[in-house]
Amino acid sequence: MNLTPEQETLGRRNFLKALAGTPALAALGAAAITRGPVKGGPVRVGWIGTGTQGRALMSRMDPAYADVLALCDINPTSLARGDEVLAKNGQHPARHYRDWKEMLAKEDLEAVVMAPPLWMHADLAVGCMEAGKHVLCEKMMAWDVPGCQRMLDAARRTGKVLEIGYQRNYNPVYQATYEGIIKAGVLGDVYHARLAWHRNGNWRRTGEPPSKDYDPSPWGYPDFEHLLNWRLYWRYSKGLLAELASHQVNITNWFFGSTPEAVQGYGGVFRFKDGREVQDHVYATFEYPQGRTAVFSAIESNAFDNYYEMFMGTKGTLILRAETDAMLFPEGDAAHATAVEVAARGTGPALDASESKPATQTSTGVGTTRAGGGETSERGLASRNEISGFCSAIRVGTPLKCGPERAIHSARACIVANEALGKNQRQAITA
Partner 1 sequence: MSDDRAALSGLQQFGLVLLRTLVGWHFLYEGYFKLVLPAWTRGGALLPAWTSAGYLRAASGPFAPLFHRLAASSWLPVVDHVVAVALVLVGLSLVLGLFTQTGCAAALALLALFYLSAIPTHGLHEPGNEGAYLIVNKNLVEAAAVLVVLAFRTGRIAGLDRLRRGPARAPRVEEAA
Query: Which parts of this chain interact with partner 1 (CB under 8 A)?
Result: 28-29, 31-33, 35-42, 64-65, 388-389, 391-393, 395-396, 398
* Beta carbons of 261 and 275 less than 8 angstroms apart: no
Q: How far is the CB of 388 from partner 1 (least distance, A)?
A: 7
Rg of the chain (C-alpha set): 21
Q: How far is the CB of 49 from partner 1 (least distance, A)?
A: 25
Angle among Cα 377, 382, 385 to the nearest 5 degrees reads 125
Q: How far is the CB of 75 from partner 1 (least distance, A)?
A: 32
d(CA 359, CA 272) in angstroms, rounded, equals 13
Nearest CB to partner 1, comparing residues 40 and 132: 40
* Beta carbons of 250 and 430 less than 8 angstroms apart: no
Nearest CB to partner 1, comparing residues 42 and 201: 42
Cα separation values, 390 from 28, 111, 424, Å: 18, 9, 39
d(CA 241, CA 249) in angstroms, rounded, equals 9
Tell me the torsion sign for CA atoms 365, 370, 373, 377. Answer: negative
Tell me the torsion sign for CA atoms 85, 386, 326, 357. Answer: positive
Amino acid at site 394: I
Nearest CB to partner 1, comparing residues 30 and 343: 30
Nearest CB to partner 1, comparing residues 37 and 291: 37
Q: How far is the CB of 32 from partner 1 (least distance, A)?
A: 3
d(CA 399, CA 73) in angstroms, rounded, equals 30
* Beta carbons of 214 and 228 less than 8 angstroms apart: no
Q: How far is the CB of 194 from partner 1 (least distance, A)?
A: 34
Q: How far is the CB of 34 from partner 1 (least distance, A)?
A: 9
Q: How far is the CB of 147 from partner 1 (least distance, A)?
A: 29
Tell me the torsion sign for CA atoms 346, 347, 348, 354. Answer: negative
Relative orientation angle of helices 145-158 and 404-423, to the nearest 10 degrees: 170
Nearest CB to partner 1, comparing residues 20 and 31: 31
* Beta carbons of 148 and 119 less than 8 angstroms apart: no
d(CA 127, CA 135) in angstroms, rounded, equals 10
Nearest CB to partner 1, comparing residues 200 and 392: 392
Strands 307-313 and 316-321 turn out to be antiparallel
Nearest CB to partner 1, comparing residues 39 and 212: 39
Q: How far is the CB of 39 from partner 1 (least distance, A)?
A: 5
Nearest CB to partner 1, comparing residues 66 and 137: 66
